[in-house]
Structure 1
Amino acid sequence: MLASAGQRDGEPVAAEIAGQIEQVIVSAGLAEEVRLPSERDLAQLTGASRPTVSQAIRILIVKGLVESRRGSGAYVRRKPETSLAATVSLMLSLNKESVVHLNDLRLWLESDGITQAITRASPAEVDAGEAALRRLAASVGNTAAWISADTQFHATLVRASHNPFLASIYESVHETLINYEYRNWIGSGTVPDWLRPSEAAGLTALHAPILAAVRDRDEKAGRIAVLRHHHVMAQHLAEVAAHSAG
């Protein structure tokens, strides 16, 4: 049973509720893919308001312990990569200017991962990539769901490299970057301009060529698609940095 947080609202209470939910996930050994109770049920269990519970869930999404599935709810996401992502995130928080270097590392890891996936991916892994792309497209307009779906899409393809260490390091780096990119919108529950439904076609067109290259076994196309995605992400990160500086 979760301890009651009363009717207090605000970020400190949300962090407290997030800590309680995290404790339940860890102490109960909840398996990955287990669906958490609805926000309404969690609000009743904790005595907090639904907005506070919603913010607590967003905190757990940023930490990588929970993923959001649009129209379905929040699910447990317990992986060894979580602690590595926390370390990378700490390094970034200590030196925000290093985000450019971290994004370069993400490019190098994904480039190698996709190159290997092009030669090693099984039909089932390509199908998993197709499913991840559909989920990604359906998440446009929902920042929390997009973070989970975007990480799932890229990680699914890099895991097809059949190198678990490369996949784990890549996922940690990607997760840290995307959480940094969207942290302000996650905190406020809003949507950035480039993630609005009107941009859905462009976002799909940015990701689909990566999957197509793996499906078609086209290494050159894969490197071009990954590099194009990298440049767009670099632009978004530069906008975030400029906004933070202002």
Structure 2
Amino acid sequence: MPLVAEDVASQIQDFIIAQNLSEGSRLPSERDLAKILSTSRPTVSQAIRILVVKGLIQSRRGSGSYVTRRPQESLAASVNLMLDLDRDSVHHLNDLRLWLETMGIVQAIERGTDAEIAEGEAALEVLKDSIGDISAWMSADTHFHATLVRASHNPYLASIFESVHATLIEYEYRAWVDKGTVPKWLRKTEAAAVTALHEPILQAFKERNEEAGRIAVLHHHYVMAQHLIASHAQ
């Protein structure tokens, strides 16, 4: 009996642990993983998407999949469980994300370095390049926001924020991941709108403008809330 994607995702996690793969390590190709796990490549592709939305793997267009953290270290699992137990609480989780990112950006504006601004600029370029590819987008979006919040120099804030964001991304895109389709707001025709949503957050960081940062984060929050509503309706 062929393994379902969730089973394969668990096996890939076990493979990461067994091979002692550290953060940033590149996974074998989907073809090689299919051979290692004795399953089909489409099933491996689905399993990779599951791990991407869990925040355990980063998908890079044209490059492959990379470990973002060891599975046993993921705070997102606990947050995800809470949301699974009460799906109607998603708006509370989105509010928490707003508060965490607002504080993160305010602190980044105060404490962030020029090197961290450059990291944010690079993350934005990756985000732009990922539009149209749902797996790459989820990785790039989490990476962009987390990069800016890490510039707050508060590792606890950054870790909790990334876990909350990853859980919301999983919730938001789960239906489209399952279907293998791309929501209308992630199509290549919407590239300008997607950039306009994220660029002001980085610009506020670059200009050390706290008020602009708060406004940009709040605007992103409202747009994400609409996407969550659309996702829930799927």
| Displacement of 1:161 | 0.4
Gaps of 5+ in 1: 1-5
Report SS of the residue matched to 2:26: coil
- In structure 1, how many angstroms separate the alpha carbons of the residues matched to 2:171 and 2:150? 23
Output the amino acid matched with 2:53: V
Distance 2:211 2:45 in 1: 43
C-alpha displacement at 1:239, in angstroms?
1.2
Asked if 1:241 corresponds to 2:232, the answer is: yes
Q: Please, what is the CA RMSD of the aligned residues?
A: 1.5
Corresponding residue for 1:3?
Answer: none
Q: Provide the rounded CA distance (Å) in 1 between the counterparts of 2:13 and 2:72.
A: 16
Q: How much does 1:238 deviate?
A: 1.1
Correspondent of 2:38 among 47, 50, 54: 47
| Correspondence 1:103 to 2:91 | no
Give the aligned partner of residue 29 of structure 1.
Answer: 20
- The yes-or-no answer on 1:179 pairing with 2:166 is no
Preserved CA contact (<8 Å) 1:81 1:172: no
**Equivalent-residue separation in structure 2 for 1:19 and 1:42 (angstroms):** 13
CA shift digits 1:158-194 (9 cap, x unpaired): 0000011111111111110011000111122211111
The answer on whether the counterparts of 1:82 and 1:172 sit within 8 Å (CA) in structure 2 is no
Question: Which residue pairs with 1:170 in the alignment?
Answer: 161
Q: Which whole-Å CA distance do the structure 1 matches of 2:233 and 2:53 have between them?
A: 21
Note if contact 2:60-2:136 (Cα within 8 Å) is conserved in structure 1: yes
2:123 is matched with which residue?
A: 132
Q: Could you say which residue in structure 2 is the equivalent of 1:142? A: 133
| Aligned residue in 2 for 1:62 | 53
**AA in 1 matched with 2:210:** E
Q: 1:77: how far off? A: 1.2
CA contact (8 A) 1:143 1:191 kept: yes
Q: 1:67, 1:76 within 8 Å by CA — same for their partners in 2?
A: yes
- Normalising by the residue count of structure 2, what TM-score does the alignment of the two structures yield? 0.96
Instruction: Mark the runs of 5 or more structure 2 residues left unpaired by the alignment.
Output: none
Task: Indicate if the aligned counterparts of 1:64 and 1:82 stay in contact, CA closer than 8 A.
Answer: no
Q: Structure 1 residues 200 and 82, CA, compared in 2 at 3 Å: closer, same or farther? A: farther
**Aligned equivalents of 1:148, 1:89: Cα separation in 2:** 17
Report the residue type matching 2:38 in the other structure: G
Equivalent residues of 1:81, 1:168 under 8 A apart: no
Q: For 2:152, give the aligned amino acid.
A: S
